[in-house]
Structure 1
């Protein structure tokens, strides 16, 4: 069966995840999942990422039972505390100040769902931030305005200059969608990657 004969949906509002999925050259559509992302009491950052990836896929799959649905979520963990999307300059600066000289674990969870079949996994990325002055952090935030990114730094852009090291089995996981893991799941589901021309 060709890729075009299979329906693939990305359950996400993230432009970053959409751009990453486009790299696989598989036809897909995007549907916004309506999911409450509030952490549960006592929920670990890893459990939160896994639950939200699964919930996003499930929310879209219920209305599209014939489709393969991709859900993904990322939670940044600093010493057990979740760092969300800052939303504005002040919160982003506070995040970067907290992470200065520290190592943050970004849990990027992925769920592929089709009917009763589902696989949910997480790809961790360890990111060590440089010890930089407030002036450097402020200059970065004014230049890139990464207020929609957990951790307040875009590694695919100027944010890479804030980092000392990145350790991960999948470089795309930090951007928001682990393509190494996803391409394996899609192949197992019968998608052809790369597609035949």
Structure 2
């Protein structure tokens, strides 16, 4: 098996990838994550996942490189990471009683052969009606300012949900493991 590299600085993605019990390293790719004109959310996350993997291919030229990127979409608008309490409050107020669609782009690049598998996995969160005090308590407790959508699904954020729908809950955290296992198997990786 070629060595695995995760093209990400995200501790959440590292924790998810560790579930597969495969040895891996990680490196932070330096790319421009700006959205191109007329690019929809699905195209954006797939392009960024692919670019993250390709950026590391020169350094890791005999590896399987995993790239991933995620956006949250509410009422047709892409929500970025909030970075502060004011933006996080606004995101959760907008999500209250609504549905937020998470699109996670995934790429697996075999830097030896040049083959790159790319996909987009969607997952939807249906939010409860959230009052101002609930939002404030949640944000103070978990401070999810580095998370698209302003919550951590693997933590207390689940208390904000009415229900979820999708084929792979790990995609909500940023790395769709079910689809990744499919891609790894196509490269001959035995799991488990």
SS in 2 for 1:9: strand
Contact 1:74–1:176, Cα closer than 8 Å, also in 2: yes
Find the aligned partners of 2:100 and 2:42 in 1 and give their Cα distance: 13
Q: CA RMSD in A?
A: 0.9
Find the aligned partners of 2:145 and 2:27 in 1 and give their Cα distance: 22
Find the aligned partners of 2:18 and 2:78 in 1 and give their Cα distance: 29
Q: Which residue in the other structure is 1:148 paired with?
A: 146
Q: Which residue in the other structure is 2:16 paired with?
A: 20
Alpha-carbon offset, residue 179 of structure 1:
0.3
Q: Which residue in the other structure is 1:11 paired with?
A: 7
Contact 1:100–1:131, Cα closer than 8 Å, also in 2: yes
Find the aligned partners of 1:82 and 1:163 in 2 and give their Cα distance: 19
2:130 matches 1:132: yes
SS in 2 for 1:146: coil
2:112 matches 1:106: no
TM-score by length of 1: 0.94
Alpha-carbon offset, residue 190 of structure 1:
1.2
Contact 1:44–1:80, Cα closer than 8 Å, also in 2: no
Runs of 5+ in structure 1 lacking a partner? none
Alignment of 1:158-197 (within 5 A): 158-194=156-192
Alpha-carbon offset, residue 63 of structure 1:
2.1
1:63-117, CA deviations, whole angstroms, 9 ceiling, x for partnerless residues? 2121110000001011221101100111100100111111111001100001320
Find the aligned partners of 2:58 and 2:136 in 1 and give their Cα distance: 43
